[in-house]
């Protein structure tokens, strides 16, 4: 941890960090989209968002399903992104790497290194899928939005990936220990049975040390066969709709220093 703190304190904005050896160049980053301006994706900063292609999980309510595949015909070359960022020096404060799952790509450290050299703060949206890769990115990160979907034992039905929960929660512990400004966000799952466990999830996050928490409404282009209407993919009758996010507002405000409904 001492070495990590030294790495973060030494460079400051606009000073280049050395990219780790063995990673791909920034031009190898697979990019599925670019948002030129947002004031929502990095709280308090004007930012651009780079949407990285690829995610190993298959959440039924994914908000960006077009980014799940590792490659896409709509690939945007890094040279175009780099030229755009050069033109926004002094106009934007930060660049956010989102997805998909950005940490899936080996070229991410080199891309962050270039963004830092241009003088921008760096934000990251991640589901915490790869804790070891996330650990290697810590020297570059100024802010993280971490997607915690559920209690660790409830992840597999959501991600269709065994063992996904412990990895996400390991990433949470890593970021809390590092002290990087962090927003944990949870999307209220369309499965009413998991939504009933949201109160326990919020309480465990608060106990873990989370200070900033956002609860999000599920808005999914993939969720055309909602479990509360069809009985889930396995059938078996109708389920009631999950509670509205507003039902958890009082609890959220009592547990966290910053609580946001989206």
> % helix / strand / coil in the chain, to the nearest 5?
40, 20, 45
- Ordered mean pLDDT values, 10 residues apiece, the chain (262 residues): 35 46 76 93 96 90 74 81 97 96 96 97 98 97 97 92 96 98 90 78 97 85 37 41 81 97 90
Question: What number of residues does the chain have?
Answer: 262
pLDDT of residue 45: 97
> Could you tell me the end-to-end alpha-carbon distance of the chain, in angstroms, rounded to an integer?
34
pLDDT of residue 244: 76
Angstrom distance (rounded) from CA 124 to CA 217: 21
pLDDT of residue 68: 72
Angstrom distance (rounded) from CA 94 to CA 43: 10
Angstrom distance (rounded) from CA 249 to CA 3: 39
pTM across the whole model: 0.83
pLDDT of residue 61: 79
pLDDT of residue 16: 47
Angstrom distance (rounded) from CA 114 to CA 135: 19
pLDDT of residue 69: 72
pLDDT of residue 17: 55
pLDDT of residue 242: 66
pLDDT of residue 230: 31
């Amino acid at each position: 941890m001492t070495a990590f703190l030294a790495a973060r304190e030494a460079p400051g904005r606009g000073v280049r960090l050395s990219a780790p050896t063995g990673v791909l160049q920034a031009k190898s980053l697979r990019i599925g989209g670019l948002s030129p301006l947002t004031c929502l994706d990095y709280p308090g900063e004007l930012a651009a968002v780079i949407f990285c292609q690829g995610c190993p999980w298959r959440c039924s309510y994914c908000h960006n399903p077009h980014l799940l595949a590792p490659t896409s015909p709509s690939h945007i070359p890094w040279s175009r992104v780099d030229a755009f960022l050069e033109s926004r020096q002094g106009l934007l404060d930060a660049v956010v790497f989102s997805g998909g799952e950005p940490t899936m790509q080996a070229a991410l450290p080199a891309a962050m290194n270039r963004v830092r050299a241009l003088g921008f703060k760096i934000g990251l949206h991640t589901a915490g899928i790869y804790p070891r890769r996330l650990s290697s990115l810590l020297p570059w990160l100024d802010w993280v939005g971490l997607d915690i979907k559920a209690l660790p034992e409830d992840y597999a039905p959501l991600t269709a990936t065994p063992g996904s929960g412990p990895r996400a929660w390991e990433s949470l512990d890593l970021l809390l220990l590092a002290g990087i400004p962090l927003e944990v966000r949870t999307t209220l799952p369309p499965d009413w049975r998991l939504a009933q466990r949201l109160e326990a999830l919020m309480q465990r996050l608060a106990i873990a040390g989370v200070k900033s928490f956002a609860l999000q409404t599920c808005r999914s282009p993939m969720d055309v066969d909602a479990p509360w209407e069809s009985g889930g993919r396995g059938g078996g009758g109708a389920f009631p709709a999950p509670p509205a996010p507003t039902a958890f507002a009082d609890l959220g405000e009592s547990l966290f220093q910053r609580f946001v409904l989206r």
